[in-house]
Amino acid sequence: MTLRAGIVGLPNVGKSTLFNAITQAGAEAANYPFCTIDPNVGIVRVPDERLQVLAGMVHPGRIVPAAVEFVDIAGLVKGASQGEGLGNKFLSHIREVDAIVHVVRCFEDNNVIHVEGGIDPGRDIEIINLELILADLESVEKRGDRVAKMLKAGDKRAKVELNLLDRLKEAFDQGKAARTLSYDPEEKEILRSFPLLTLKPVLYAANMSETDLAAAEENPYVLKVREVAAGEGAGVVVICAQIEAEIAELDEEEKALFLRDLGLQEPGLDRLIRTAFHLLGLMTFFTAGPMEVKAWTIGLGTKAPQAAGTIHTDFERGFIRAEVVSYEDFVRCGGLNGAKDKGLVRLEGKEYVMNDGDIVHFRFNV
């Protein structure tokens, strides 16, 4: 499972600069086969120091980190939900991603014109959110007409769905996103077959200038972004897209020196990726052997057979049990054999819920 995040924002907010940094830092940049316009995709490795530690112990033929796909979704402007700026095509691209990275301009620059005439993060966020809400409202109204007919035909589940659609419509009329509501299990099941743009998790990237970055937490623009995000249950990462683009061009030694001079511990891109992981409720387990050390991405609460299925469907279909050791125990004991000697390698069955950092060998038979 690879996290797919769509980057959105108004023109001239730094979105392209951030995406360029991503593609320079990533393993590849390529066209991505979406609908009628092909957005670009930057594929980047998920930063995880545990991989290097495991590789130093196991000495594998290769190291395979988890990856994130960042999709560059351009052109969202006022009226996108009615097709302005090719809005309908770009909205369709958003439907294909797991999460939205909303780049918000938090810097002043007279050389970079703002399409709305001035810097106002709250207004800018509202413009994008309103277009997504309007698109969802149209979808809900169309679906409501169909479900009403199903209710007349005696479909028992239709009543539950119609109540859900009425609740969503009321929220949209108030300018609220679908993700701000709570849902019972039956409603969640209905929503799985009815993807809404405003149901997707959002991570706001507050894009600042290099000169303002040191005082980011006191910046009124950033504070406004955090205020909006808190009301939605969304995440926030403060970045400087221009710095990220510069960092991405450096080798590891130069990068370390550059970050130290700026007083930063790590690139903002690393924080963005980790925050996106947390936002989506994702975690990592590892397989480690002489062939490769590899990170695998799964959702919180995933059971062992389903985790095995991320490696290969046969692993899940023929699952017998999993040999599991925690990353901490593996490292502390000097490897798998040491962990076995201390009785720290467990045999787990089909009901075992995976933990972040588990190192696993799956046994299966098909």
In whole angstroms, how far apart are CA 344 and each of 53, 330, 352, 362?
19, 8, 16, 16
Please tell me whether 156 is known to bind a ligand. Answer: no
Which residues sit opposite 319 in a β-bridge?
364
Joined together, the tokens standing for residue 346 give 């467990």
Q: Do residues 107 and 209 touch, judged by C-beta distance below 8 A? A: yes
Query: What are residue 36's phi and psi, to 5 degrees?
Result: -105, -20
Rounded Cα gap, residues 261 and 42, in angstroms: 27
Please tell me whether 287 is known to bind a ligand. Answer: no
In whole angstroms, how far apart are CA 293 and each of 138, 286, 307?
47, 7, 16
Q: Do residues 200 and 99 touch, judged by C-beta distance below 8 A? A: yes
Please tell me whether 110 is known to bind a ligand. Answer: no
Q: Do residues 101 and 8 touch, judged by C-beta distance below 8 A? A: yes
The number of beta carbons lying within 10 Å of the beta carbon of residue 55 is 15
Rounded Cα gap, residues 243 and 241, in angstroms: 5
* Rounded to 5°, angle at Cα 154 from 153 and 157: 115
Residue 262 class from Cβ within 10 Å (0-12 exposed, 13-18 middle, 19+ buried)?
middle
Query: What are residue 48's phi and psi, to 5 degrees?
Result: -155, 105
DSSP code, position 183: -
Mind spelling out the 3-state secondary structure of 64-98?
Answer: ECCEEEEEECCCCCCCHHHCHHHHHHHHHHHCCCC
Q: Do residues 98 and 3 touch, judged by C-beta distance below 8 A? A: yes
Candidates 63, 67, 66; CA nearest to 290 is 63
Candidates 90, 68, 67, 58; CA nearest to 77 is 90
Please tell me whether 350 is known to bind a ligand. Answer: no
Please tell me whether 302 is known to bind a ligand. Answer: no
Please tell me whether 163 is known to bind a ligand. Answer: no
Rounded Cα gap, residues 40 and 364, in angstroms: 38
Pick out the residues of the known binding site for ATP. 12-17
